[in-house]
Every structure is written in C-alpha cells, then in structure tokens.
Amino acid sequence: MPARSCPFRIRHASAARGLAAAALIVCARVAVLNQAKFVLMAPRVVRTVPALRRAVMPWRTAGERIALVPTMGALHAGHLALVQAARRRARRIVVSIFVNPTQFAPHEDFGSYPRTLAADLAALADLSVDLVWAPSAEVMYPPGFATRIVPEGPAAAGLEDRFRPHFFTGVATVVGKLLIQCMPDFAMFGEKDYQQLKVVTRLTQDLDLPVRIIPVPTVREPDGLALSSRNAYLNPLERAAAPALQRVLAHCAGEITRGELLARVLDEGGAAIERAGFVLDYLEARHADTLQPVAALKDGPIRLLVAARIGKTRLIDNIAVSGGRTAKKAKHGIS
C-alpha cells in the first residue's frame, strides 16, 4: 500500500525533524540555563580594599554572620572543606585568594606556586561563596608598606620556624591584614597546617581581634596523603612514597598511646620516614595547645608533627595522639 505508507513516512519524517528541532531548542535552553546558573552562582571577585568594604558593609549592617576562608588558591577538596565548614556557621562567605610573597624565602617556590584563578572560581561556583577577595601584591603591600606582625609563642616553637624563619612573620602579617580588611566573625583554618593554626589563634587573642578561628580537620587522599597544592610537584614515584608520612604518624601515635617510650617511638618513626625516601626535617611530639615539647603521654594532649622533603617537594603533616590527659577543649579565639 504505497499510497498509504508514503504519507505516513512523510509525516513520520517531518515529526522526526520536529522532534530534533525541539530537542535542539531544549538543549540550547539547558545550556543557557546552565550558563545562567554559573553566572548566578559564580562568586563575585573584588580586587581593592574599598570594593571589599563596600561589599561586606551591608552584610554587617544587616547583622549577617561573615566567615573568611583565607587561601593561596590552587583550590582542592581541603580548601572546599573549609568553605563547607564556613557555610555551617555563617550566612556570608568570603574566600581570599592571595599568594603571599612575604611568607616565601627567596629560594622557595613563590614564582612557581600554582596560580589557577579561573579553575578556583569554577570550584567555588557551586558552594554559594559570596565573594572572592583577590588582591594583587601591590594592593596588599603598596609602595611605602612598612609594618610587620612578628609572632612569638607557637610561632617560635622550633618546628616550621626552624626551617622557614621568615614564614610566620609573613603569615601573621597577611592574616592580620586579611582579618582587618574583611572583619569576619569566623575565619577557617586547616589543621593540616597545625602550627599556623596555633599561631593565628594566638594572634587574634593577643590583638583582641573580634574573630573566632575555627579549626577544620585535614582532608586526605584515599591512601592517607594530606591534600596540598604542593602535591602537584610530586612525580609518580614520589607520589607513591608520600603516604608513608601519614602511615608512620599513625603508627607512632598508636605506639605512644600503648605506652611505648616516646623518644624511642620518634627515633624509629624518623628512620621509617627516611627509609621511605624522605629527608626528614623534623618529627616531634608537642603539646597540642602550646606546641611545647612533651616527654611522655601524661604531658599531653599530644600532637605529632612532621616535615620531610622528597625530591624537590617539602610536605608537612600531623596527627593527634589519643590517651593521656583528656584534651582540654581548645579555645580558638574569641567571639
């Protein structure tokens, strides 16, 4: 029945064309919607202090809580965990992205530190971040800049400061500036950089800054390696060796909890880290709050801290030791 089948085929073909056209329109709309969603959710970037103040002021006036997440960019899931922790506390979130030159020594990796602003903004797009504060070095340190915050106490504990003597002055100065610029109610810091967390907490207490420092647990790869922007420097062999740091820390923490002699545990732990291919800068047991040296479990709460180099990459990590005295509920800043 060609006379009947032909019209059917014609109708069918035209229906198919119609469907295809409709599908195209739907796809185009979805693309537009997706783009609109990106445009809507991508955080606004501000680059000058007056623009930052203009953005933050209405929030303060409205009594909205503000959280600051200071970063150097090259964002990974560790940074995003800070943003999520910020979301649980505050209505408004500011993420600062600033590779701070003053915390790098001349021989360190300031020049090669990963700078990935477009990818960072995309990573923040779905997290309802209100503002990205991304000043240039000239905005942060304009000509004539002549003031530094020189922290002591935890900043002089003989850990990172022994290997990076310039580091905490750079960190304290820039964090002091960031807190004064943004005036947040909360500022989120990762336990990954444990000494830094303690330095910043002390700083806000000593300078009576009306901000509460919130510690956020370390986010790790499935094999235990702490996420870090510097992990990108590791070649495949180094990357395969790198989880040894956390494995050794966990082993040492277990031994100390079981009552093994602390000095012996640390000696053996250091040797194990070197066997894994690292050059050890330090493996230390410190009081978790003051970072002062401890000799035994009873002197705790104890935190083990390690820094070691593999190839050209320097990694740091830390772990809490359970047992001993109950950890005093740490007071991180004031509200």
For the CB of residue 187, give the shortest distance to ligand AMP in the complex, in Å. 9
**103 is a contact residue toward ligand AMP (CB under 6 A):** no
For the CB of residue 209, give the shortest distance to ligand AMP in the complex, in Å. 16
**45 is a contact residue toward ligand AMP (CB under 6 A):** no
- Give the whole-angstrom CA distance, residue 289 versus residue 259: 21
- Give the whole-angstrom CA distance, residue 256 versus residue 106: 38
- Of residues 216 through 255, those in contact with ligand AMP by CB under 6 A are 216, 218-219, 226-229
For the CB of residue 70, give the shortest distance to ligand AMP in the complex, in Å. 6
Residue bearing tokens 């915390």: 103
Instruction: Assess whether 76 carries a catalytic annotation.
Output: no
By beta-carbon proximity to ligand AMP, the closer residue of 78 and 135 is 78
- Give the whole-angstrom CA distance, residue 186 versus residue 87: 11
**270 is a contact residue toward ligand AMP (CB under 6 A):** no
**192 is a contact residue toward ligand AMP (CB under 6 A):** yes
Q: Pick the stretch among 17-25, 146-154, 213-221, 244-252 that binds ligand AMP (CB under 6 A).
A: 213-221
By beta-carbon proximity to ligand AMP, the closer residue of 114 and 323 is 114
C-alpha distances (whole Å) from 81 to each of 34, 178, 183, 216, 237 are 24, 20, 21, 8, 28
**297 is a contact residue toward ligand AMP (CB under 6 A):** no
C-alpha distances (whole Å) from 277 to each of 141, 193, 220, 245, 269 are 39, 22, 20, 10, 13
**333 is a contact residue toward ligand AMP (CB under 6 A):** no
Contact 224, 247 (CB under 8 A): yes
Handedness of CA 123, 129, 130, 131 (dihedral sign): negative
- Give the whole-angstrom CA distance, residue 92 versus residue 59: 8
Total length of the chain:
335
Please, what is the end-to-end C-alpha distance for the chain in angstroms? 85
* Residue 12, CB-side half-sphere exposure with 13 Å CA sphere: 6
By beta-carbon proximity to ligand AMP, the closer residue of 170 and 301 is 170
- Give the whole-angstrom CA distance, residue 50 versus residue 78: 30
Please tell me whether residue 274 adopts helix, strand or coil conformation.
Answer: helix
**288 is a contact residue toward ligand AMP (CB under 6 A):** no
Work out whether strand 44-46 and strand 66-71 pair parallel, antiparallel, or are unpaired.
unpaired
**79 is a contact residue toward ligand AMP (CB under 6 A):** yes
**189 is a contact residue toward ligand AMP (CB under 6 A):** yes
For the CB of residue 329, give the shortest distance to ligand AMP in the complex, in Å. 21
Q: Pick the stretch among 21-29, 138-146, 215-223, 268-276 that binds ligand AMP (CB under 6 A).
A: 215-223
Catalytic residue among 76, 79, 251, 332: 79
Handedness of CA 248, 249, 250, 255 (dihedral sign): positive
- Give the whole-angstrom CA distance, residue 301 versus residue 327: 5
Contact 77, 103 (CB under 8 A): no
By beta-carbon proximity to ligand AMP, the closer residue of 227 and 296 is 227
**78 is a contact residue toward ligand AMP (CB under 6 A):** yes
Question: 56, 66, 71, 167: which one contacts ligand AMP (CB under 6 A)?
Answer: 71
Question: 190, 243, 269, 300: which one contacts ligand AMP (CB under 6 A)?
Answer: 190
Q: Pick the stretch among 115-123, 135-143, 214-222, 281-289 that binds ligand AMP (CB under 6 A).
A: 214-222
Please tell me whether residue 251 adopts helix, strand or coil conformation.
Answer: helix
By beta-carbon proximity to ligand AMP, the closer residue of 75 and 256 is 75
Question: 160, 193, 238, 281: which one contacts ligand AMP (CB under 6 A)?
Answer: 193
Residues of this chain that interact with ligand AMP (CB under 6 A) are 71-72, 78-79, 81-82, 189-190, 192-193, 216, 218-219, 226-229
Residues noted as catalytic: 79
